[in-house]
Amino acid sequence: MGKTRAVLRILSLFLVLPLLLSACGSSLKEDYIDMLEKTSSQPETEYYISEINRPIISIQSKEMAFEWRKKLEELAQVEKKAVIPDSTSLYDFNSPESIEYRHLAQDEGKMNARFGESVNLDLLLNLAYERNKGLQSARRKVEAALEQYPQVAYLDNILSQYNAFTKQMDTKIGPQQHKEMMAMKFPFPDIMTTKGNIVTQDVRLLQKDVEIKLRDLIADIKLAYYEYIFINESLAITHENQELLKQILQIVTIKFRAGMENYGSLLKAQVELSRLSDSIITLEEKREMLIARINTLLNRPPGASMGAAEPLDYMDVKLSLDELYQVGVKNRQEIQKQKIAISKMELMIKMVSKMSTPDASTGASYFEDRTALRTGTEKMPPTFMTNRTVNPRIAARFGKDDAYVREVKVKLNAMEQMITDMEDKTRFMIKMHHFGADNAKRTALLYENTLIPLAQQALEATNTAYQAAKIDFLNVLDAQRTLLNFRLSKFRALWDHRHHVAQLEQSVGKELPKQILELNNSDSINK
C-alpha cells in the first residue's frame, strides 16, 4: 500500500506540474512585457543623455591632437587667414591681395567674371590653393591621420575583462556555484607616449605630402602661365610680321603688274604669308590647350574662358650656386620627409623593444562550494582560492621580436644612406636648372642687345635696296624671316629662363629672393 500511494503521488505531481509551469510561464511573460513597457515609457536620464552626446574624442586625446587640429583648421578655413605649415616659404597666401583672391573661390559667378577681364599669376595661385582637388585630398589625409590620436589613447586604456568560467565542474564533493574571472592589464606608462609620438610623425609625413603637393602645384601654375604669356607674345609678333608681309606683298604685286617683278617672287610672298597664317592657327590652338590646362589645375571646366594674361617682370635669382645648394639641402621637402620617416622608425624600434616584454597584469578567479561536509557541520572552503598574479617585467623574450627589431634597424640604416643620395640628386637638379637659367638669360640678352638690332638694320637696308631695284625680293623675304625668328627666339629664351627659375624654386623647396632682369644693358651679357 505504501508503494502504491507513493506512485500515485508521483503521477499526480506529473499531471499538475505542466499546469503550474504554464501558469508560471504566463505570469513571467506578462511580468516581462509589463516591465519592458514601463522601461520604454521612462524618460531618458541625464546620465544616458550625457553618454549619448559625449564627444568621441576624450579630453586626453584632444590635448594630444590640439596643436595639429589647430593647424588643420587653419588649412581649411579662409577666414582664419591660415596657411599650411611652412607654406609661406613657397608663397605668401596671407597678404590682403591673396585673401581677396581666395574669397573669389567661394563665388563661381564673381570668379568667372574676374577671369573674363584678365588673369595674373597671383590670382591663379590663390585660386589653385583653394580649389585644386589634389591639394584638398592631401589635406583630408592629414585630417584622417589626426583621428589616430584618440585610437592610441583608447587602445591602451587599462583593460578589464570578465570571462565566464566553466559553468559546471564536478569535484565529487557537492554542488558547485558558477563564478566569474576578472583580468586587468596595465600597459607600461611610456608605451602610449611612444605611440602618440609615432602618430605625430605620421601626421608630419602627411603634412610634408601637402607641402610637396602645394610646391608642385605652384610650379605647374607658373610654368603654364609663363607659357601662356609666351604664346600671346608669339601671336602678337606673328600678327605684326603678317601685316608687314602683306605690305611687302602689295609692293611685289604692283611691281609684277608693272613688269618689274617675276611671278616666282609673287608666289613665294604668298607662300610665306600662308605659312604665317598657319603658324597663327597653331599658336591659337596651343593657347586653348594652355587655358584648358590652367582650368584643370583650378578645378574649372576645361573649356571655360580666360582673359588676357597680365605681363610680368623678368626676374633673376640673387643667390649664388653654393648658396642654392645649402638652401636646397635644408628645405627640400623630400629630404625633410625622409628625416621624419627615420625618426618614426627609431620610435618604432623603441616601442617594439618595450612591447616584446609582456605588460603587467593581474587576474583573480573565484570558485567555491557552499555545501557543508556530510560528516560535519563546518563549511567547505573555496575549491579555488582567489588568486592574483603579476607578470614580471623580465619575461621570456621571443626570437621573432628580436629578429623584427634587427630588420627595422637594417632598414633604418638604409634610409639614412638614402638621405645622402637625395641630397646629391638635389644638388644635381639645382645645378641643372641654374645652368639652364643662366644660359637662357645670356641668350635672351644676346638677342635683345645684338642680334635683333642687327636684323632690324638688315631688313631696313634690304627694303631700301629692293625699292631701288638693286636686289631681288628673296633677300627682303629672307631678312624679314630672320627678324621674325630672332624676336621669337628672344621670347623663347626668356620663357626658358622663367621655366628654369620656377623649377629651381621647386628643387630647393622654397621661394627664392629675386631681382629684376635688365634686358637693355649690354654689359649684362657677360655677367
* Contact criterion met (CB below 8 Å) for 180 and 466: no
pLDDT category at 9 given cuts 50, 70, 90 is: low
Question: What band does 392 get if pLDDT is binned at 50, 70 and 90?
Answer: very low
Predicted pLDDT at 174: 52
pTM of the model: 0.71
pLDDT tens digits along 212-236: 999 999 999 999 999 999 999 999 9
CA neighbor of 366 nearest in space, from 345, 387, 350: 387
Q: How confident is the model over 74-95, as pLDDT tens digits?
A: 433 432 233 344 456 788 888 8
Mean pLDDT of the chain: 74
More confident residue, 328 or 159: 328
pLDDT tens sequence across 136-168: 999 888 888 887 776 665 555 444 444 444 444
CA proximity to 211, closest of 105, 98, 75: 75
d(CA 204, CA 347): 14
Span of 8-12, 23-27, 266-270, 445-449 with lowest mean pLDDT = 23-27
Q: What is the pLDDT of residue 498?
A: 94
Per-residue pLDDT reduced to its tens digit, 412-436:
888 888 999 999 999 999 999 999 9
* pLDDT average, residue stretch 123-135: 92
Q: What's phi and psi for 162, nearest 5 deg?
A: -115, 115
Q: Of the given ranges (30-39, 208-217, 333-342), which has the lowest mean pLDDT?
A: 30-39
Q: Which pLDDT score is estimated for 89?
A: 78
- Reported as a pLDDT band with limits 50, 70 and 90, residue 31 is low
Query: In sequence order, what are the beta bridge partners of 501?
Result: none
**Cβ within 8 Å of residue 235, ≥6 positions away:** 280, 283, 284, 287
Q: How far apart are CA 152 and CA 42, in angstroms?
A: 37
**Euclidean distance between CA atoms 337 and 485, whole angstroms:** 46
Model confidence at 496, pLDDT cuts 50, 70, 90, reads very high
Model pLDDT, residue 401: 65
pLDDT mean over 61-66: 44
Mean pLDDT of 366-391: 48
Distances (CA, A) of 384 to 112, 177, 366, 375, 376: 81, 12, 6, 22, 21
> What's the rounded Cα separation, in Å, for the pair 414 and 423?
15
Residues in the chain: 527
What are the boundaries of each domain within the chain?
Answer: 59-371+382-526
Band (61; pLDDT cuts 50, 70, 90): very low
Q: Which candidate, 208, 196, 510, 195, places its Cα nearest to that of 338?
A: 208
**What is the C-alpha to C-alpha distance for residues 136 and 401, in angstroms, rounded to an integer?**
39
Domain 59-371+382-526: give its CATH superfamily: Outer membrane efflux proteins (OEP) (1.20.1600.10)
